[in-house]
Each structure stands twice: as structure tokens, then as C-alpha cells.
């Protein structure tokens, strides 16, 4: 140890305190498995499929042609002369290049993003909210919604000697949230979403969470995910009003993760933004409730996760405080320009009559029905499996089924010091090469859940459901036989259709 | 105030403590000026030119065709069939797409970057260092060198109740460094670079800086910029050895900013990396000195600042500590994929015989002579101006001339509570529409400096020099006349060439 200059105990205790999520445990196991496949180690599956997090293009969803064509022209402007490309593609690329310094995507931008694109975002929001005003100067572009959230959370965290900053968070919450709060040194106080009410936000739970943790921290904000990640719940106007009134009464900043606003698919339901609801409430609330709403390029329909861009709209915040939002973004220099341009294309797509409109509409408007059908298909299968039950989702890209696991698995998990759903996911990965997410516990135990992204091509979904089904039925079978049987090779098993058919019996 | 939920005093004191750099003051003034030009407010110049920071493409430098063509194909893979594009462009794009999950740049990558590209980087480093081994698992790709540095600095910063972490930093230093350290809560202890020795690092200064601040913090690392930003100084092997021995003796992690490694242009000098020097020193040092070296896509020759990517190589670090580097990068999700791909192209360019080689060589190999000629041209002009003196730079993209300002300006700055070089830059911006950087003081005052990026097209440089020259001579003239004269309109002034000619008299 004497030789080491920087040893473990020199590492920032806050960084050391970042909780290892079940997601990163599974990812490490997946990497090992993939390496073994490459090295020729025999496995009962040919390839690993990962539906634990939302990465539609990895799963085989196709990118949007209009977005990609415009970006290609912006990168290689010689293509402006390529007549094989639709005229609106080339005109848009020209306009976006003019918005960049030096007419190049290779130049830095302001840390809050290109003014032209902040304006596009403001116009999109205003249209979405049917006229509620939105201003470019309240929009901050960042390299993803997660990064934007980190900026706000750090802004609110307290220095030494002060009571720790507290943040109300839903339980379950997005799997990336707890590590982020750990790093920022903010205390998470979970309010339970009510599973029996299809994961609704309940006012009494907000009050309970606040009361339970009061005195142990200074509450400054409440975080909401709507449509819910991972629950798929969509709040209605009344529920949103309740949360706004609660935030106002408790003087909490509202942090609203609305990254799945484009992917509500439940019949007769549509997304309504927190901002719109707020601006239709009484004057006092409209003028005083402070809110930050997050959106992302990695959302459902365009799903350009790899390009890294998102934004936040800051509402009713003190201008002195907002100045520090900009200061914090400065240390990132700026969000990647290709991502910024893709935000512009996502929020201001081709219009009817434009040469690219038909293709654009065909590609993106198909996403929602695919999502709805996939969700429906998965829901039926999951609910038909013994010991599994799942609420229908209304939006977002996940299903979050509850697992009632065999006692044997729960005991084994206990011995290994793991949550039983994580053990389930590890076994599923090892036996079937399928990665699902394990439940977000955040301190509560006893119930177990899985997280399943359903925004994948339908044939991939069939394969995913087939793997879940065979594994789950084998596991139940094991329990019935009181002992483990050697895993059958998938190659000797019935076809996915037959398997799924059987599972319904 | 009662209405505000989050007021200024609720903002994280560490964030509130981020020092406002002279750079951001100037940028705000520049934005205001540009807005006024757009609104038709008459100005003595048509457009603002900014050479205060390194943004070559904004200044008009052309991007590299090979890099841009491959990226365009990766974004719009239909172009793989475009026979008008060189074959090696299409083959490389195909290879890079295969390295992406789902063969799409729209998928997430591991938080430390695509394995294929980490391997390319390791191979580049090994070749650069003539065989010193480099391993992909020690390479971490991030959205820029600045972001990578932030990760390491945060890793080293201390929690509550501990003595603050100290970092030795050069004086002058990159203008982005102090805000970053403020945000991380790390104490900067400056060691002076020795201007009389063309801004060399001097051992006695390192010891002095350490001794002066000892007891007020726990020193954990030393930061070096080589080639120097903003000084342009290039360390020789002996100087690097001295720093390494110092770091070893004081048990400090070496943070080496080597982002301008591709832009050494002094005759008979070449870049030698800290890592190579270390690995040619004795075994004990080679095996124990811990080091992180940073490089960036925003460097001189490819200069894709807007795409946001960089990387760090971590050397001899404890594996348990390295694990937390990965943990910290996780909150960023991953560096933008287009930037990651551009890193691959920058570090593994076309080879002689490849269809794109000639164009590539023509474009990138021209950058260094342009840089050298621009630096030479600027140096002569600056040194010929009264009250200005500048050391020749050996590499990097900046010149850093010393300003001996008229007493009148210094008094006026004093009254305004500004450093005199910042006032100079503000006046230069208002009168000539030119943005230069002001000196990096970091606590020391009395001497004043300017920062000037010389990686711009030669005709832009002529315009820049002309504006500096007219402004500076007017200022000197004002002093001689004991009073300010109304600023002459540039439209009535001699042509840039005549002006520069006059300034040599």
C-alpha cells in the first residue's frame, strides 16, 4: 500500500458512497457473458438481448431518416448539392449550419445551447401547451436530461455544516436516479407510488414521506416522472394539480421528468404537461410555483440516445438563481452540436406537403402503435405466467411486473445477500442471455419487480417473451420438483410460438 | 422575496463561489454587442471576431474532409452505396458502425466509451510513445478533456470535516481551470511559470507553492499543461523528469493536460509525452508514479470542438480507485457517439496509399505550418507595438503577450475595480469588435497579459492584427495627448495592410 499515491481512502467519500445499482451489477455480468461468447465458450443462446433500459436503436429500432439525412448534410455540407436528397432536408441543413458559428458543427456553442434551437424548443413547448408562453431564455440545452437534472440537483445541494438537502422521489424511480443523488450528496426521501392504483401518485404518500424525513434534511424539491419511468403510469390533470398544490404549500421546487411525453399510448389518454396545468390554475400558483421540466432526445419516438442531448425549461425561477444554472453548464462547455441539431429536427419535424413529410410520418407515427401493441402483447404474456402480475402501462417505454418468487429463490438470494429479483435477472441472463432490469428498492424490501423495455422491433419482442417464458416456467417447475434441473439447451426447446402458447394454458 | 421558493441563499455555496472569469465577462459583452449589430445599432465594425479561446472552425478553419465524410456515412448509412465517396471512407464507416450496438450511432455506449475506440486510442498512444505499452482498459472516453479532468478532480476532493484537497496549478493556467476547481471545491495553489525563461516550469517554484500552502490543505495532485495553455511553452525531457521526480517525492498524482500534443511547431522541437519520459526513467518511478494524461478532439489539427469528445489515459492507478472513475462517468451516461467516432478517425487516419490519404495529408499537415506562420506573424507585430512584449511560442494555439499599460488605463481600471487587461479587452471589443482573452491572474496582480488564439485562417489573422494594432496605437496616442479622443470610425482608417505597416515604424 505504501506505494500507492491515491488509495481508496483518498477517494472523495461522497463518490465512494455512490450506491452500486442492480443495473450496473447486471451490466458487468452481461459484459462478461458477451466476452465469453466471443471467446467461443458454449452458451445456451447465440446472443445477449438487453431490454433492461431504454435503448431502442440497440434493440433494432430504425433511426428516423429525416433526422439522419439532415445531420449527414450538416457534417458533410458537400451533400447540400446532392439532388438525390429531398429538398427540405437540404434547406433545413443549410438553415441549421447558418445557426452554427462559422457555419460548422465543429464550433463550440454557448453553454446553454444554440439560440436558434432554444427558440425552436420554446416554440414547440408553446404549441404543445396550446399557447402557454415559453421563452428561449428559460431553455437550457444539455448533453441529456440526466445531465440537466444533475445541474439542478447540485445547485440545490448544501455545503459543509448545513443540514443536508432533501429531495422527494417516487418509489419506484428511474434506475439512474439514486446514483445521481448520491453523487450530488442529496438525501432521497421516497414517496411510494400506489401499485393497486396502477402506480398513481397519492397525496397522502407525499405528506407521509415529508413528515417521516423532516428534521433529517432541508427539503427543497420534489421529483416526478410522468409518464412514469418505470411504471408507465400517466397522471391526469387532477393528480398533477394535487402535486402542484402540495409543492406550493411546502415551498418545493418541482422537478418534472417528462422525457416520455411523446409516448402516451393508452386509449383516450393524452399527455398534459405540468406547465400547462400550472398555467391553468389560479394566478397565485401560476406566478409563484417554481418548476423545471426535462425532455430528452433519447425519448421514445426519435430515440437518438447516442447523440446525447436534452433540455430543461425553467419556470418562475429567480433570475439570480438561473444565472448559476448557466454557470454550472459552463463546466461542460456545451452539449454536442449534432445532438443539439437533432433536438431541432425532433421538435420541428417536416410538415404536411414537405417532401420528407410522408416518410417522416410513416416512420415516427408507427412508433406509438408498435409501442402499444408490444406493451399489450407483453402484458398478456406476463400476466399469464404463474407468480407474475403487471399493470397495463399508459405511456413510456417500460412494463414493471411484480414477481412473486418461489421460496427457494428468495432463500437463495438471502444467502447471497442479493435482492431476489436481482438473482432472478442474473439467472435469466445466464440461462437465456436476456437482460431485464431488477426492481428499484431504495430501502424497501419484500416485493420484487422486473423492468422491461417494450420499445423494440416486434420480432425481437417475440424472442424476449419466449426467453422470459421458458426461464420463468423452468423456475416454477424447479420449485414444484423441489430441486434444480440442469438447464435445457434452448436449441432442444419448443419454438417461441409453441412456448408462449403453452404458457397461456 | 417571500414568494421565491429557491432564493440565492439556497444555492449551493460551492456553486455560488465559482469565480466569474474575465472570459465570461467578455463573452457577455460580446453577446450584447452582437445583438446590437443585429438590431442595427451603428458600430465602427461590421462583425465581431473572437480569438480569445481556441475555436478554429468558428474562426473559419475548415474541418477535415475524411473525418466529416465518414461521420456523414455513419449517420446516414445509405451513403455506404454512394460511389462518389472514397472507398476507404465507406469501409471505415462500415467498421465503425459494426463497433456500435445495433450498428447505429443512436445507441448508448459503455460509459467509458466504445471498446473498439478505446483500443484505437491505446494503439495510437503506443505508436506515439515508440512502443511504451498502452491498454484499452486504462483509457476513458469522455465528452471532452475538461469533463475528464472534472471527474478526476471530484474523485480527489474531500468530504465534510476533512482538510480541503489541494492541487498545484500553473500560473498562468487555462482560463477554464479555476471555475472547474471552484465547482469541485478543490484549493488551487499556483506555481508561477517563469516568463523570463519563455514560461518554463521551475522546480523551485513548485517547492515554494507547496510550502506556502502546506497546512491549509492536503495536496493530492499537480496539474501541468504541456504544450502550455496559454503560454505556448513546451517542456523538454529534463524539465519533465524534474516534475515527475517532484511528484514522486511529494506523492502527488500527475494530471497532464496534453491536448495540444499535435501542435508543436517550433523548429527542431517535438512533443514528448510525460508517459514516455516516465517509462524511460528508473523502475521505481515507472512502477509507482500515478498519472492521468488528457487529450481532446478539440485539439489543434482536427479541432472538432462542437462534437465534444476527449479521453484520459490513467497510469499506475490503484484498480479500486479506477473503478470510481468509471462510476463517475456513469452519471454522464456516455460521451456523444459522433465525437467518439471522430476520435477514432483523428487517431487512426488514412495511411499512404489509401484513397483519402492525399486529401487528408494536405488538409491536416497544412495546419501546423499555418499555425507556425501565424504565430510568427503575430509575434512580430505584437513585439513591435509600444508597451507590448511576447515570447515566441513553441506549440499550442495561443500567444500570451505582456502588456505594459498606460498609467491612465491602469488608474481607470482601478476605479472600476477591474484588472487593467480586462478593461483593455473590453475597450478593444467595443471599439474594434475584437475579443482577446485577458490575463489569468489567479490572485497575483500588477502584470497584465492578453491571450490570442492564432489558429485562424491567415486572412482572418491579418484582420485581427489590424484591429489590435489600430486600437493599441490609438490607446498609446491617447496617453500621449493626455486625454481620450473620440474613437475614429474604422471606415475612415487606413487599410489593414497600411495600418500594420505604420505600426512597424
Tell which of A7, A64, A76 to mutate to test the B interface (max B CBs under 10 Å): A76
Instruction: Report which of A401, A188, A328 is spatially closest to residue B182, judged by C-alpha positions.
Output: A328
Enter the DSSP assignment of A20.
P
Domain limits, chain B: 9-59+368-504, 108-347
The model's confidence at residue A490, banded by pLDDT at 50, 70 and 90, is very low
Tell which of A6, A14, A86, A98 to mutate to test the B interface (max B CBs under 10 Å): A6
Q: Cell 480541503 identifies what position?
A: B164
Chain A closest-CA separation from residue B31 CA (Å): 10
For B144, the 3-state DSSP assignment is coil
Q: Is the pLDDT of residue A472 over 90?
A: yes
All residues at 6 or more sequence positions from A93 whose CB lies less than 8 Å from its CB, including other chains: A70, A73, A74, A77, A79, A80
Could you give the angle at the alpha carbon of A101 between the alpha carbons of A100 and A106, nearest 5°? 75
pLDDT of residue A1: 41
Mean residue pLDDT across chain A? 90
Structure-model confidence comparison of residues A10 and A403, the more confident one: A403
pLDDT of residue B57: 94
Cα(A227)–Cα(A205) distance, rounded to whole angstroms? Answer: 19
Q: What is the mean pLDDT of residues A435-441?
A: 87
For A153, the 3-state DSSP assignment is helix
**How many contacts, defined by CB atoms under 8 Å, are there between A and B?**
268
pLDDT of residue B442: 54
pLDDT in tens, A249-279: 999 999 999 999 999 999 999 999 999 999 9
Task: Assign residue A436 a region (left: φ > 0; alpha: ψ between -120 and 50; beta: otherwise).
Answer: beta
* Fold of the domain spanning B9-59+368-504: 3.90.1150
Cα(A424)–Cα(B499) distance, rounded to whole angstroms? Answer: 77
Partners of A223 in the β-ladder: A255
The pTM (predicted TM-score) of the whole model is 0.92
* CB contact at 8 A, B269 and B394: yes
Q: Is the pLDDT of residue B497 over 60?
A: no
Q: What percent of chain A has pLDDT over 90?
A: 74
Considering only the C-alpha atoms of chain B, give the largest distance between any 2 of them, rounded to a whole number of Å.
71
For A246, the 3-state DSSP assignment is helix
Looking at chain A, which residue has its C-alpha nearest residue B291?
A5
How many C-beta atoms surround the C-beta of residue A138 within 10 A? Answer: 21
ipTM for the whole complex:
0.91
pLDDT of residue A488: 39
- Residue A241, class by beta-carbon neighbours within 10 Å (0-12 exposed, 13-18 middle, 19+ buried)? middle
The model's confidence at residue B493, banded by pLDDT at 50, 70 and 90, is very low
All residues at 6 or more sequence positions from A265 whose CB lies less than 8 Å from its CB, including other chains: A368, A369, A371, A372, A375, A394, A395
pLDDT in tens, B429-470: 999 999 999 987 655 557 899 999 999 999 999 999 999 999
pLDDT of residue A14: 82
pLDDT of residue B187: 92
The model's confidence at residue A441, banded by pLDDT at 50, 70 and 90, is low
Cα(A268)–Cα(B347) distance, rounded to whole angstroms? Answer: 53
Cα(A194)–Cα(A171) distance, rounded to whole angstroms? Answer: 9
Buried-exposed string B464-482: b where 16+ CB fall within 10 A, e elsewhere? bbbbbbbbbebbbeebeee
* CB contact at 8 A, B129 and B276: yes
Cα(A434)–Cα(A454) distance, rounded to whole angstroms? Answer: 13
Instruction: Report which of B44, B333, B325 is spatially closest to residue A144, judged by C-alpha positions.
Output: B333
A160 touching B (Cβ < 8 Å):
yes
Partners of B415 in the β-ladder: none
Which of B107, B327, B330 shows the shortest C-beta gap to A306? B107
pLDDT of residue A421: 93
All residues at 6 or more sequence positions from A251 whose CB lies less than 8 Å from its CB, including other chains: B5
Could you give the angle at the alpha carbon of B394 between the alpha carbons of B393 and B399, nearest 5°? 25
Residues 118-147 of A with CB under 8 A from B: 143-144, 146-147
Question: What is the domain class of B108-347 according to CATH?
Answer: alpha beta
pLDDT in tens, A370-384: 999 999 999 999 999
Chain B closest-CA separation from residue A226 CA (Å): 21
Lowest mean pLDDT among A62-76, A199-213, A483-497, B208-222: A483-497
Q: Is the pLDDT of residue B351 over 90?
A: yes
Lowest mean pLDDT among A38-52, A462-476, B18-32, B480-494: B480-494
Q: Is A11-59+370-504 CATH 3.90.1150.10?
A: yes
Task: Assign residue A123 a region (left: φ > 0; alpha: ψ between -120 and 50; beta: otherwise).
Answer: alpha
Options 3.40.50.410, 1.20.120.1770, 1.20.120.80, 3.40.640.10; CATH for A109-347 is 3.40.640.10
Amino acid at each position: 500500500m505504501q506505494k500507492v499515491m491515491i488509495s481508496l481512502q483518498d477517494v472523495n467519500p461522497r463518490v465512494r458512497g455512490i450506491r452500486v445499482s442492480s443495473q450496473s451489477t447486471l451490466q458487468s455480468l452481461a459484459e462478461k457473458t458477451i466476452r465469453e461468447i466471443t471467446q467461443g465458450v458454449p452458451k445456451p443462446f447465440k446472443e445477449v438481448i438487453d431490454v433492461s433500459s431504454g435503448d431502442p436503436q440497440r434493440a433494432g429500432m430504425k433511426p428516423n431518416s429525416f433526422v439522419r439525412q439532415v445531420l449527414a448534410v450538416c457534417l458533410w455540407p458537400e451533400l447540400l448539392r446532392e439532388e438525390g436528397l429531398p429538398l427540405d432536408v437540404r434547406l433545413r441543413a443549410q438553415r441549421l449550419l447558418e445557426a452554427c458559428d462559422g457555419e460548422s458543427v465543429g464550433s463550440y456553442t454557448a453553454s446553454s445551447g444554440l439560440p436558434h434551437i432554444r427558440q425552436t424548443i420554446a416554440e414547440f413547448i408553446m404549441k404543445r401547451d396550446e399557447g402557454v408562453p415559453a421563452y428561449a431564455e428559460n431553455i437550457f440545452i444539455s448533453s441529456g436530461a440526466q445531465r440537466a437534472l444533475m445541474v439542478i440537483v447540485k445547485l440545490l445541494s448544501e455545503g459543509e455544516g448545513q443540514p443536508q438537502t432533501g429531495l422527494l422521489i417516487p418509489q419506484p424511480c428511474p434506475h439512474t436516479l439514486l446514483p445521481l443523488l448520491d453523487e450530488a450528496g442529496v438525501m432521497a426521501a421516497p414517496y411510494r407510488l400506489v401499485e393497486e392504483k396502477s402506480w398513481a401518485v397519492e397525496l397522502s404518500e407525499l405528506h407521509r414521506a415529508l413528515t417521516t424525513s423532516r428534521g433529517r434534511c432541508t427539503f427543497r424539491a420534489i421529483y416526478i416522472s410522468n409518464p412514469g419511468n418505470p411504471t408507465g403510469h400517466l397522471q391526469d390533470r387532477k393528480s398533477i394539480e394535487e402535486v402542484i398544490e402540495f409543492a406550493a404549500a411546502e415551498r418545493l421546487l418541482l422537478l418534472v421528468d417528462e422525457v416520455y411525453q411523446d409516448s402516451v399510448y393508452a386509449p383516450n389518454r393524452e399527455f398534459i404537461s405540468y406547465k400547462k396545468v400550472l398555467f391553468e390554475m389560479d394566478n397565485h400558483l401560476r406566478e409563484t410555483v417554481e418548476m423545471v421540466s426535462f425532455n430528452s432526445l433519447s425519448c421514445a419516438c426519435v430515440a437518438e440516445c447516442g447523440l446525447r442531448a436534452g433540455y430543461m425549461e425553467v419556470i418562475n425561477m429567480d433570475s439570480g438563481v438561473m444565472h448559476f444554472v448557466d454557470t454550472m453548464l459552463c463546466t461542460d462547455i456545451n452539449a454536442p452540436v449534432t445532438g443539439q441539431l437533432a433536438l431541432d429536427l425532433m421538435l420541428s419535424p417536416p410538415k404536411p406537403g414537405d417532401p420528407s413529410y410522408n416518410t417522416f410520418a410513416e416512420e415516427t407515427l408507427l412508433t406509438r402503435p408498435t409501442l402499444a401493441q408490444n406493451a399489450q402483447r407483453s402484458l398478456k404474456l406476463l400476466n399469464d405466467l404463474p407468480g407474475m402480475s403487471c399493470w397495463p402501462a399508459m405511456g413510456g417505454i417500460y412494463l414493471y411486473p411484480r414477481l412473486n418468487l418461489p421460496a427457494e429463490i428468495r432463500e437463495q438470494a438471502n444467502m447471497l445477500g442479493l435482492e431476489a429479483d436481482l438473482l432472478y435477472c442474473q439467472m435469466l441472463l445466464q440461462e437465456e442471455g436476456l437482460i431485464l432490469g431488477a426492481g428499484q428498492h431504495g430501502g424497501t424490501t419484500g416485493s420484487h419487480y422486473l423492468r422491461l423495455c417494450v420499445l423494440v422491433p416486434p420480432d425481437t419482442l417475440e424472442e424476449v417473451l419466449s426467453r422470459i417464458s421458458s426461464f420463468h416456467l423452468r423456475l416454477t417447475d424447479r420449485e414444484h420438483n423441489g430441486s434444480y434441473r440442469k438447464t435445457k439447451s434452448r436449441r432442444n426447446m419448443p419454438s417461441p410460438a409453441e412456448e408462449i402458447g403453452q404458457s397461456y394454458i
